[in-house]
Amino acid sequence: MDRARFARLRPLALLTAAALTLPGLTALTSAARAADADLLANGGFEAGLDGWTCTAGTTVTSPVRSGGAALRATPAGSDNARCSQTVTVQPDSAYTLTGHVRGSYVYLGASGTGTTDVTAWTQSATDWQQLTTTFRTGPATTRVTVFTHGWYGTGAYHADDLTLTGPGTGPARPPAVPAGLAAGTVTATSVDLSWTAVPGATGYAVYRDGTKVRTVTGTTTTVTGLAPSTAYSFQVTAVNDAGESARSATVTATTAPGPGGPTPGLPPHALVGYLHATFANGSGYTRLADVPDSWDVIDLAFGEPTSVTSGDIRFTRCPVTECPNVESDAEFKAAVKAKQAAGKKVLISIGGQNGQVRLTTTAARDTFVASVSKIIDEYGLDGLDIDFEGHSLSLDPDDTDFRTPKTPVIVNLISALKTLKARYGDDFVLTMAPETFFVQLGYQFYGTGKWGGQDPRAGAYLPVIHALRDDLTLLHVQDYNSGPVMGLDNQYHSMGGADFHIAMTDMLLTGFPVAGDPGKVFPPLRPDQVAIGMPATPNAGNGHVPPAEVVKTLDCLTKKVSCGSYATHGTWPGLRGLMTWSVNWDRFGGWEFQRTFDGYFR
């Protein structure tokens, strides 16, 4: 040993000399009680290091004190070669720890006792020497860690025949039910909870509306990711190695109103529809003036770019050759004013199936702002709908956090929409109609993923929605033309019934961790910002559901009835309403979608 190391050790030896255990003084002061048991697993190291956690240990066949194996561990300059095992014990009980060791500066002890942690040690044991120490557990202690270690750089030590005797734990039982659950500070998106500690509990599970949302080790937590102005119920259970207690009594809390609020001029529940203004198809052309008053928001489909990356958006109304009954520009503008006088909102929708828009440069961004403004001003419109589909939005490989996007097409779109909102003021209506692939799929996948290989479009709308959530009037995700998507119940949901719409909408109103990362949670939107997108008829798109399924969807989300197998995470009577593709197809289908909405909300 060098002088520096000896100087470090000597004060320790002087301070703890009284605890030194010498041969002849280590016999137990009393025999172990008949009911006591040896609680250590593999204390003789006959099964290798099974049950032990060691930083620098192995088993050897010589020297051994008994049996065929013993521990050999070699400390290094920054490692004392600790081996440890955590065992289950009884609260408020006496235990005796015994072991046989060889080597210089070898320690045997117990930590986490709940009272005074103990250590026995020997400065030099050229042959097997017994170390013994005793302790009493605290009133709530159910687990203790037993350890042995050497000293830094002093050479290998050996240990064998370690035992921990004392009251056994008997049949394992879950802890008692927590009491005193109470709600504290409540914000628009979070609730503080607290409860009384349970003896023997190693943790607690927190339930929101019957679904486990987190586990904690303490007796307080803040449940986040909640929707504003929404009632939630909470319960808590106590957990240990034996299992989970029954749930506590329920406490309820209603979150505060969020920032912003309903858009001026929109009714509490709104019907949104796309009007084929630039083309005709099998549904036929419908004049704007002929759209019934039930439609509160009318999206003119579509404004499209002159090229994918130009940012130059043009709105070219359907030509007479394609739409024989098309109105004149003057009649169209008059119809816009008439709808607005009746309290309706008329927007220009950008994109659609054929209108791919990629704002790859700031020049394209500025052109987008200028060209969209020109359309809005020319026709006196109330705002803008973003219906980017296909490859309009995708994420660069290094763009991994929806809260801080880096991809130019994402960053430039956010900047353009903020500029338009600032230009036209608070009454400017901004809506978005992404597909599920770009939003809810983000619960599982985001961009190319940690290891690459994923579709870079997965979840790509999330940074746009998040950056503009305070400016966003409505988000109506297209719950159609979609493959199966995993919901918050970690089950896949497919189109064809209320279940799909319920699960997809619950995600928007509850929030979710993006790509499963609990540190990157997409916060919930306000209920008044969310409408559910559905096809008006089977001809309009895959995923059409009959009126009865529409009613089930609304009943579940606004009243929490008729929910089927999916358990929502809240009840949202303030859900804004429904969106459909399209007004034209609903007219073709005898206005069935409109009548279903009116029958439910009007």
- DSSP annotation of 348: E
389 is catalytic: yes
Report how far apart, in Å, the C-alpha atoms of 485 and of each of 450, 460, 557, 567, 583 are: 20, 15, 18, 16, 27
Q: Tokens 């949901």 belong to which residue?
A: 493
Would the CA dihedral through 305, 307, 310, 312 be positive or negative? negative
**Mind spelling out the 3-state secondary structure of 215-249?**
EECCCEEEECCCCCCCEEEEEEEEEECCEECCCCC
Tokens of residue 437, six digits: 């692939």
Angle at alpha carbon of residue 217, lines to 134 and 50, rounded to 5°: 55
Strand, coil or helix: what is 183? strand
Phi, psi of 335 (to 5 degrees): -65, -35
| From 304, 389, 435, 549, the catalytic residue | 389
- Spatial contact of 278 and 267, defined as CB atoms under 8 Å apart: no
In DSSP notation, 485-546 reads: EE-TTS-EE-SSSHHHHHHHHHHHHH-EEGGG-TTSEEPPPPGGGBEEEEESSTTT-TT---
- Name the nearest CA neighbour of 299 among 349, 263, 344: 349
Phi, psi of 318 (to 5 degrees): -60, 130
Distance CA 72, CA 316 (A): 83
Amino acid (1-letter code) at residue 234: F
Tokens of residue 169, six digits: 């734990």
Distance of CA 142 to the CA centre of its chain: 32
- Spatial contact of 21 and 122, defined as CB atoms under 8 Å apart: yes
Report how far apart, in Å, the C-alpha atoms of 422 and of each of 334, 414, 417 are: 26, 12, 9
Report how far apart, in Å, the C-alpha atoms of 59 and of each of 109, 157, 167, 237, 315 are: 20, 11, 29, 41, 79
Phi, psi of 67 (to 5 degrees): 70, -155
Strand, coil or helix: what is 213? strand
Strand 157-167 with 70-73, pairing: antiparallel
Beta-bridged to residue 45, according to DSSP, are: none
Distance CA 89, CA 563 (A): 46
Beta-bridged to residue 122, according to DSSP, are: 106
Just list the catalytic residues.
389
